[in-house]
Structure 1
Amino acid sequence: MAAGAGLTLAALLAYLLLWPVPAEPVIWSPQQGPGYVGAHAPNTKLAGLQKIDIGAERGPEHIAMGPDGKLYAAVASGNILRMAADGSQREVFANTGGRVLGFDFDASGRLVAADAMKGLLAITPDGKIAVLTDKVADGDPIRYADGVVVAPNGTVYFTDASTRFAPAEWGGTFEASVLDILEQSSTGRVLAFNPASGKTSILASGLSFANGIALSGDGKTLFVNETGRYRIWKIDAASGKRAILFDNLPGYPDNLMRGRDGKIWVGLVKPRNPTIDKLAGKPFMRKLTLRLPRGLWPVPKAYGHVFAFSEDGKVLADLQDPSGAYPETTAVMETPDRLYVQSLHAGYIGWMPHP
């Protein structure tokens, strides 16, 4: 009996210490988390959201108003839903067969989508889908297309969150993002697609999970979330020169959306977890974590949080729901009447009257 228990323990230890995992974590040094202070002092302004039914769909990760005045929402099934502003007349506009995480509309009315499985897509107003690009100019594949914005000159800027972990190969977008952020090898990049030449170039690289992207009012500057390092960058759209706009945020920044009156909205999809930060200098322990059942991973608690900022880095609004009733808030789409809140996993679209 004792021998059997010993063998079981030895097998368990061997598994925890030696079982191969895909990530090779590297050491990094986060700043101490600031907590909820100053402009991000705790509040409940995001609590009690009203609901727009999306049927059996989940994860309205990105929501935007189309040139036809309809509301469009990308959901986990690969569908892009289209509906009236109040959620009525809901229909499936298109299904990409992948997972769209961000989209924008170009001057011709096409929906330009960053699909984490397929690359950069264009969808015509009648729902026809075409691949604009799935590789950069040197043939390197785009593994994790994430956020996208179309510039006034037609250039499409978009993020490739990770060149290490493609959702199509690692069980989906959430699984691939966990591997990339845990590893911290910083392979995310910002890409630029030229519709005239059909070529895709690298504008910026070395980001720890490059995520949401937005354009300045004059079209010259990009704002890009670096989710894995809790920060937001300003990047010159012509040269790629960059500077940090927000650093050491209290959570993981996900999507970016231009709002009204010069505002840019960002969602903190999860709050920071002190345990995760403490493991930053312990790559072996992070590797061991991947061998544990998912229920034992140090996943941060649910906490609803979005805020708006100006192009020069001033926080203009901060909305929170400490209960996390609306899970994984990714950003806000703002209209004159409403704020529509995006979510990674919610089974409905949350909204509130414009404050």
Structure 2
Amino acid sequence: MLKKLFVALALLLAVLAAYLALWPVPVAPVAWVAPAGPGYVGPFAANDRLASLNMIDLGAEEGPEHVAIGPDGLLYTTVASGNILRMRPDGKAQEVFVNTGGRVLGFDFDAAGNLVAADAVKGLLSVSPAKKVSVLTDKVGGDPIRYADAVVVARGAGSGGRIYFSDASTRFAPADWGGTFEASVLDIIEQSSTGRILEYDPATKATRIVVRGLSFANGVALSADEKSLFVAETGKYRIWKIDVQARDLDLRAGAVAQASVLFDNLPGYPDNLMRGLDGKIWAGLVKPRNPTVDNMADKPFLRAVSMRLPRSTWPVPKAYGHVMAFTEDGKVVVNMQDPTGAYPEATSVTETPDRLYVQSLHAKGLGWLKRVPAP
């Protein structure tokens, strides 16, 4: 009887080992070298300046992922339901402006007052003030745009209103993998660096690749002179500065003449980028670094094994609120944190003369702080 028990146990262990080693998973992990996390020191010294936010109640909605003030002076925000909400800056008179039928993550406004939306399911969209939704582009060179994420519209003279936006991953489309969060996790675990930055020219209706080879291409902002793009590369903890004239550069080999790393080895995953006042650019570090994840960077087999385990065992980083603001030459000028992570996954800040609105992936309301002008 004991012998049969040992045989059964051995067979069970063999089946389990075979499952962990051989069961198909959606990712093909690529080895890379993650630098040792810097921790919360220097310009990122720990504090609680992001704690005790004021809250705008969004009712049944959650996840104000992106926030902007429209040409009409009203506040717009995207939420997890797929709605784009519109309200007064104090949060009153809320209404659903539009639902595109997809999932808008980032948006901006063009010179005509149209809301230009990066829809993770449908591509780059334009929503007129009358709420008419049209597709600007959903392909580049015949290749589908799978994960439109962040967008910024150029406004300077001679810019032609060109639109720059991120296609976070060409491997994992939210429409195919259960949503934006699930697709982003798969892309960052795999580290095949297929994210790219695209440009859409409204005059010619042409879409081109500015750069490719980013590990989950995320937030996008323009420099004040609109000659450079700032781009958050979420999967590798860094922010790039890229020449808008670049054409189909591959960044997998590192910096090149038209693209340099402005921030490397950040203490968390950078998400949205937003131009603020006084020359600042805001970024949210949506999650802190996780030593377990970094230690598996050069161990693709272990990353594949982790995908075969229950989702509850995945090494998801803890909740930790963190937003920063920096100058175009790479100096951190604001560092606001909440170690409790009470306001989950802060993605960036929208700055107005009166308030700082804190964007979030999963918060039940929209957090804000009174803005204190710089001396």
Secondary structure, counterpart of 2:296 in structure 1:
helix
Q: Deviations over 1:180-217 (max 9, x none)?
A: 11111100000000111111000001111000000111
Q: Deviations over 1:205-232 (max 9, x none)?
A: 1111000000111111110000011000
The 5 Å alignment of 1:124-143 reads: 124-136=128-140, 138-143=141-146
Q: Deviations over 1:35-72 (max 9, x none)?
A: 00001000000001111011111111101110100000
Aligned to 1:110: 114
In 1: Cα distance, 2:11 partner to 2:134 partner: 56
Letter in 1 for 2:125: L
Q: Deviations over 1:137-182 (max 9, x none)?
A: x200000000100012210000000001001001111111011111
Aligned counterpart in structure 2 of residue 69 of structure 1, from 70, 73, 87: 73
Secondary structure, counterpart of 1:281 in structure 2:
coil
User: TM-score normalized by structure 2?
Assistant: 0.93
Aligned to 1:324: 341
The 5 Å alignment of 1:268-347 reads: 268-347=285-364
Query: Is residue 20 of structure 2 the alignment partner of residue 16 of structure 1?
Result: yes
Letter in 2 for 1:150: V
Secondary structure, counterpart of 2:64 in structure 1:
coil
Aligned to 2:58: 54
Aligned counterpart in structure 1 of residue 184 of structure 2, from 177, 185, 188: 177
In 2: Cα distance, 1:57 partner to 1:119 partner: 23
Aligned to 1:146: 149
* Per-residue deviation, 1:24: 0.4
Aligned counterpart in structure 2 of residue 186 of structure 1, from 186, 193, 200: 193
Contact 2:211/2:246, CA 8 A, preserved across alignment: no
Aligned counterpart in structure 2 of residue 229 of structure 1, from 225, 236, 246: 236
Aligned to 2:252: none
User: TM-score normalized by structure 1?
Assistant: 0.98
In 1: Cα distance, 2:205 partner to 2:11 partner: 59
In 2: Cα distance, 1:4 partner to 1:104 partner: 61
In 1: Cα distance, 2:239 partner to 2:134 partner: 31
* Per-residue deviation, 1:4: 4.2
Aligned to 1:253: 270
In 2: Cα distance, 1:121 partner to 1:351 partner: 28
Letter in 1 for 2:39: G
In 1: Cα distance, 2:182 partner to 2:142 partner: 25
Aligned to 1:238: 245
Contact 2:324/2:336, CA 8 A, preserved across alignment: yes
Secondary structure, counterpart of 2:139 in structure 1:
coil
In 2: Cα distance, 1:195 partner to 1:303 partner: 39
In 2: Cα distance, 1:281 partner to 1:214 partner: 31
Secondary structure, counterpart of 1:127 in structure 2:
coil
In 1: Cα distance, 2:228 partner to 2:24 partner: 42
In 2: Cα distance, 1:81 partner to 1:350 partner: 15
Aligned to 2:371: 354
After the TM superposition, which parts of structure 1 deviate over 4 Å for at least 4 consecutive aligned residues?
none
Query: Is residue 204 of structure 2 the alignment partner of residue 197 of structure 1?
Result: yes
Letter in 2 for 1:307: M
Query: Is residue 93 of structure 2 the alignment partner of residue 89 of structure 1?
Result: yes
In 2: Cα distance, 1:9 partner to 1:63 partner: 51
Letter in 2 for 1:281: D
* Per-residue deviation, 1:22: 0.8
* Per-residue deviation, 1:258: 0.4
Query: Is residue 227 of structure 2 the alignment partner of residue 220 of structure 1?
Result: yes
Secondary structure, counterpart of 1:180 in structure 2:
helix
CA RMSD of aligned residues (A): 1.0
Letter in 2 for 1:129: V
* Matched pairs, number: 354
Secondary structure, counterpart of 1:276 in structure 2:
helix
* Per-residue deviation, 1:13: 2.1
% same residue: 68
In 2: Cα distance, 1:83 partner to 1:5 partner: 62
Q: Based on CA coordinates, which of the two structures has the bigger radius of gyration? A: 2
Letter in 1 for 2:148: A
